[in-house]
Amino acid sequence: MSNARIPGRNFLFVPGPTNLPDRVLRAMNVASEDHRSSKFPELTLPLFAQLKKVFKTTTGHAFIFPASGTGGWEAALSNTLSPGDKVLASRFGQFSHLWIDLAQRLGLEVIVQEEEWGTGNNPERIEEALRADKSHSIKAVLATHNETSTGVTSDIGAVRRAIDKAKHPALLFVDGVSSIGSLDFQQDEWGVDIAVSGSQKGFMLPAGLAIMSVSKKALAAAATAKVRRAYFDFNDHVKANASGYFPYTPALPLLYGLREALNILFEEGLEQVYKRHHHLAEGVRAAVRAWGLKLCAKEPKWNSDTVSAIMVPDGFDGAKVIDIAYRRYNLALGAGLSQMAGKLFRIGHLGDLNELMLLGAIAGTEMAMLDVGIKVTPGSGVAAAQAVYRAAPLLQA
């Protein structure tokens, strides 16, 4: 196949990094400046206040680390726990697995609840494990809100209710990397002690910022936590952030981009952002049904509004669909990971997207599937998605 450049824009439909709005790109095109100047807090202090609105918290402390979401995971664990502490975690996909792996590397004892991939956190099992922990040796529950590898969203409010029913003092840590800024997230309402996100998904930025919100209870735990930390120390940030500064050199262009991305989110309105993501996802799910294929999510209650993981028929390799889509049609789809490698491909539908953009992705996906021999009716997925989008348009004429 020719290596010549394909004209036009690459259709980026992985579930992160996501498309960058032109406004954000322009906002990041800034000259270097003194991040210790008296003017610098004019940029930073409003960011912390606005982030609290995205996390839906009035009492949480917002943090911005120069890191990926994984850095946020490490910050959450290292600031609140001590070596040998027990944490409870459900594993039902590659990213919940990676958080467990990180906790183990930090010297924590992880009680792993294995769940079927295509499902999510099981509140009943979580409650049962916490009730059995009479000595309260479990210090935290790790819950992935949106498991990107399988296209599954869990009910975090139900996880909090399970902890409360068990009358257990464990902290609740939530991976919201691929949900916050795209799906409704209610830190205070759900009693989330630490919520972790990243800049490259719902915040519509390049990768490079770990964006977090931490409860007063979790901040208090830092006083006795013994896991070693330096770069990710909450205390250093709390002191510096209070006056609008950072304990080390910040990622300046990303901060300007974050300011513009937050402006975009609030101009649309967070509730409308959530509605748009659900609307777009419904079109993709209609296309999957029209193709005669199935999602990795085992039941509709697990369906994610930010990414659809689509199972390929037996005898076909999802990786080949992805490769053809990229090389022939300039369409980037997400790969199957770990035990789902080759079994599925993923269409990301989060961030700066609209209906026509997704229709293009669905059309390209159809052609790539046909090219590898998967028997779908040409145009069926596009027509099904069009029907959804025309029946309930986001923008009224």
Handedness of CA 130, 136, 138, 143 (dihedral sign): positive
- Sheet bearing 194-198, strands edge to edge: 61-66, 209-214, 194-198, 171-175, 138-144, 86-91, 109-114
Give the pLDDT band of residue 3 (cuts 50, 70, 90): low
Q: Mention every residue, 6+ apart, whose C-beta is less than 8 A from residue 290.
A: 377, 380, 381, 383, 384
Residue 121: exposed, middle, or buried by beta-carbon count in 10 A (0-12, 13-18, 19+)?
A: buried
SS3 273: helix
For residue 325, pLDDT over 90 is answered with yes
The count of other CB atoms within 10 Å of the CB of residue 63 is 24
In angstroms, the Cα distances linking 100 to 60, 73, 110, 139, 152 are 24, 10, 7, 14, 18
For residue 2, pLDDT over 60 is answered with no
Q: What is the pLDDT of residue 349?
A: 98
What one-letter code names the amino acid at 155? D
CA atoms within 13 A on the CB side of 367: 13
The count of other CB atoms within 10 Å of the CB of residue 159 is 25
Domains and CATH numbers, the chain: 22-266 (3.40.640.10), 269-391 (3.90.1150.10)
Task: Give me the chain's average pLDDT, please.
Answer: 96
SS3 268: helix
Share of the chain above pLDDT 70, in %: 98
For residue 263, pLDDT over 80 is answered with yes
SS3 116: coil
Share of the chain above pLDDT 90, in %: 96
Handedness of CA 186, 188, 192, 197 (dihedral sign): positive
The whole-model pTM stands at 0.96
For residue 1, pLDDT over 50 is answered with no
For residue 340, pLDDT over 70 is answered with yes
Q: What is the pLDDT of residue 269?
A: 97
DSSP string, 185-207: --HHHHT-SEEEEETTTTT-S-S
Q: What is the pLDDT of residue 392?
A: 85
Q: What is the pLDDT of residue 7?
A: 84
For residue 49, pLDDT over 80 is answered with yes
